[in-house]
Amino acid sequence: MDLCEEFRVEEKIYKLLHRRKYIGFPRFLRSGVDNFNRGYLAIEVLGPSLKKILHHQKHRISPQTSLQLGIQLTYLCENGRHIQNERQSTFMGNFVFSSVYQMLGHSPSRKDDLLSIFYLLLYFKDGKLPWVIKQNDGKIKTMSFDQVRKAKQDFHSEIKMKSQTCLIRCLIKYCDKLQFEEKPRYDIIIKNLLTQLNSLNTIKEQWAMDWTKLTSNWCNRMVEFSEQFKYFENPISQKMKKISGESSNGGRNFSILQERVQYFLEQNSNEFFFGTLSQHTFIKQ
């Protein structure tokens, strides 16, 4: 599947989710092709990202919250046969959270989805990843595709060679042992996460995240932060109606969309490759 096909599939999925009004998924606003023949999707922003929340929490995320996130993110919606493992000519994905196998040129599989989740949980737990290096000024060091891939390979090799006491690292080790088409034991994964979660709580899991335990300081930070999303927050506003195509002026619609995207990028330009998609072409051996 080439990048154009992948884009059309993603577009189709977002439209389907929009029509069926699934809770928790962003609403589809608009899609199309710009003057440079690049496809784009405009979807609803569902509040602050986990990255921003982590920043506001000063990288202090409790083990309970990390485990609760893992349980909620690990779910299965499957229909049909598993895809074939075909060598990819191009990588398109997030440098930080894409699995090492995708960055080695393999087709994404079920275990790759799990690895992305476990990378995220490990980042929440430790506040860092071996391939996410902070500089003295607090900014994330820009690393090349090859540097990130090598760091992930070293990380997985270390996990394989050493016994692990951290549950998340044990789950990564489990994923490494899975064959490409092998179905992960989602029930066992969730059971392990629940067991550890309950061992940390004096009572049964409460499903209260760190950032939902409201304080005046937290509320003030969220009010301040929401200003960054003033163009995205209200989907029924006149500005968002123009983006979503309710205005007949197509050229102006796209211009407005570009302004909003540019504003968002400017606000997040110092956060190297978190939440961004990057492309890399594999060199044929």
Domains of the chain, earliest start first: 66-208 (1.10.510.10)
Per-residue confidence (pLDDT) for residue 171, from 0 to 100: 93
Per-residue confidence (pLDDT) for residue 172, from 0 to 100: 94
Per-residue confidence (pLDDT) for residue 235, from 0 to 100: 38
Q: What is the DSSP string of 18-66?
A: HHHT-TTSPPEEEEEE-TTS-EEEEE---SS-HHHHHHHTTT---HHHH
Cβ of 192: how many Cβ atoms within 10 Å?
19
- Chunked in runs of 10, what are the mean pLDDT values of the chain (285 residues)? 72 87 81 81 79 71 71 55 65 84 87 90 84 77 87 94 87 92 86 81 58 54 47 37 41 51 46 52 52
Are 91 and 280 in contact, with CB atoms under 8 Å apart?
yes
Q: Which two tokens stand for residue 246?
A: 């309710």
Extended beta strands in the chain, E state: 28-33, 39-43, 90-93, 278-281
C-alpha span between 142 and 154 (Å, rounded): 19
pTM: 0.59
